[in-house]
Amino acid sequence: MRWADEIVDTFHSRDKAALLAQFERNTYAAITEGFSLNPVLHAFQWVVNEYQIDHEFIDAFLRSMEMDLEDRSYRQELYEQYIYGSAEVVGLMCLRVFCQGQPVLFDQLKAPARRLGAAFQKVNFLRDIRADYEERGRVYFPGLRYEQFDDAAKRTVEADIRADFEAAFVGIQQLPRAARLGVYLAYIYYLKLFHKLRKAPANQVLTERVRLPDNTKLLLLLGSWLRYRLRAV
């Protein structure tokens, strides 16, 4: 996922569309052949084949990466399509691994898995709103003009993200225990980042990239581990 994202975001001196098309061909060749000399694609094909990852998820992801080849402002339909392909299907792929041999549980947790992926992606959009606009010509939030981003617009975005986090947590509590700590830690990290973004006024979000210091990350790790050990999550 990271590699495909880098193609569309950073290889400015190259033909990104051609590179992404080649990456897609190489990906599916690796899956079909069960082998690749590219270590990343070799590892990915193993996971896809071992855990029967739906090819529809992979297709949706690659279509979202294609959307990033163009400078655009997103309307609601395209926004939902992009969120699904760039983030929600990643949650669904992970869920396939977590729920191996438990198809009923996978079906039960599909909706919260998608909401968790969406929450993470939307937090990234909010945190990186200036970089996405100035460096890549993108405004992901539908109906939002970058020049008119103010505290009221920010609160609307935050309400949507908060609803995703709340829906996702219900699913985390039902995950197989072996997968729960890692997912919970990611959830807590992004939730903390979201809370920090909420406290920052819109003009601060537009002028600096909000981040969590390393000591805060360590505390989140320790706190998550303790809650997991105490079966509080």
Domains plus CATH for the chain?
87-229 (1.10.600.10)
User: Cα dist. 81→2, 63, 108, 162, 170 in Å?
Assistant: 19, 9, 22, 20, 24
Percentage of the residues of the chain whose pLDDT score is greater than 70: 100
Write out pLDDT tens, residues 104-149: 999 999 999 999 999 999 999 999 999 999 988 899 999 899 999 9
- pLDDT single digits (tens) 27-68: 999 999 999 999 999 999 999 999 999 999 999 999 999 999
Give the integer Cα–Cα distance in Å for 10 and 23. 15
